[in-house]
Amino acid sequence: MIYAAPVAGVSVATTAEAVAVGTGSSSPSAGVSLAVADCLVASNEEVAQEAAAQQEQVSENETPVVESEYADIAIAQVDNYVNVRTEPNTESEVVGKLYNNSAATILQTTEDGWYEITSGNVTGYVKCEYVVAGDEELAKSVSTRYAKVTTTTLYVRTEPSTDAAVLTMVPIEDDLVVTDESIPGWALVTTEEGDGYVSTDYVTLTTEYVQAESKAEEEARLAKEEAEREAAAAAAASARKKNSESSSSSSSSSDSSASYSAPTSSNGQAVASYACQFVGNPYVYGGSSLTNGTDCSGFVMSVYSAFGIGLPHSSSALRGCGYEVSLSSAQPGDIVCYSGHVGIYIGNGTIVHASTPSSGITYSSVTYRSPICVRRIF
């Protein structure tokens, strides 16, 4: 029984209300209660501080939730194009077109089923039902990841190591399609000789989407295409006349080497026919001779040069020449562009191209690799 009072005093002092009652008492048990209460308050403060510290540590160690980079990307899924309008209604002005598989960034969603988007130089509204938002797989499938070469000559290697064998070489400013970036410091790219690795120290990596076209851009594009068609036809006619005069003055030659016919007309079919004459001739990296050796872009450049048309000696630069047409609409003479490679379409699903050192100038199916785009000059 002698322990009953102290135990009772401690029990009372464990609540804030009991501490307040105890301050008015002069009994020894009340004093003990106050002392114990002070200890308990201090202890509670320490526990609270420790808990806060632990919570702060947990917060610091937590991995923040990062929104996917594709969360605000919308991809048009339509037969041809969807109109981009100034206001979220079908009565407002059309400011541009978002073509099928083109991409836009969503700025906001309206309550009545429209997205405000921006794409290229176009900002406006499209109906939600015509685009797919936040679909990473779809966005990746319609975009192209490029590695643009920033050194004079880039080695593409068979393995992600500078000790690995060289698969092929790529000149500065050319770009290759990237298919994998999972190995730090290296990118897996596709080339004419097959897939290989390039060091990311010597390339610039970018992702490209097809974007919307404004009304002004569409008008300018159509005018430019018509002007380029007319200029190409005029240049080809002039070159054909010049070549005809040259061949007639030197028609009797005792040279035992193969002879080649000059262009006979000014259209894509003439380009294809002229290009096919050189099948079997050698491939030479950096070359541009249709007879003694050329690489892929040199081949296209030299073939079109015979028609009086100047084109760049670069597979990536050729993607910007002429105007784009769909693969299904390809005609003879069109330039078919691949990752780090180009060829000339000759019809019936076939291209002629300066392929590799082992195969030289040869024929291939237009889909033997995945085309990036098709460009038309005539």
- Per-residue pLDDT of 360-378, as tens digits, reads 999 999 999 999 999 999 8
Q: What is the mean pLDDT of residues 234-238?
A: 86
The residue among 277 and 31 whose pLDDT is bigger is 277
Give the confidence band of 240 by pLDDT, cuts at 50, 70, 90.
confident
Q: Are 333 and 267 in contact (CB under 8 A)?
A: yes
Q: Which of 372, 286, 291 is nearest to 336 (CA)?
A: 372
Catalytic-residue membership of 313:
no
* 323 pLDDT higher than 60: yes
- pLDDT of the residue at 253: 38
- pLDDT of the residue at 69: 81
DSSP H helices in the chain: 4-12, 16-22, 28-61, 136-142, 215-249, 268-276, 296-305
pTM score: 0.74
Catalytic-residue membership of 321:
no
Catalytic position from the list 296, 313, 321, 337: 296
Give the confidence band of 239 by pLDDT, cuts at 50, 70, 90.
confident
* 138 pLDDT higher than 90: yes
Catalytic position from the list 313, 321, 337, 341: 341
- pLDDT of the residue at 51: 56
When mean pLDDT is compared across 36-45, 60-69, 153-162, the lowest value belongs to: 36-45
Q: What is the rounded average pLDDT for all residues in the chain?
A: 84
- Ordered by where they begin, the domains of the chain are 1-35 (no CATH), 73-140 (2.30.30.40), 143-208 (2.30.30.40), 213-246+261-376 (3.90.1720.10)
Contacts of 372 (CB under 8 A, 6+ apart): 144, 177, 319, 337, 338, 339
The two structure tokens encoding residue 356: 């590799």
Catalytic position from the list 313, 321, 337, 353: 353
The residue among 7 and 338 whose pLDDT is bigger is 338
* Identity of the residue numbered 310: G
Catalytic-residue membership of 296:
yes
DSSP H helices in 250-366: 268-276, 296-305
The residue among 297 and 9 whose pLDDT is bigger is 297
Tell me the pLDDT tens digit for each residue of 207-222.
999 999 999 999 999 9
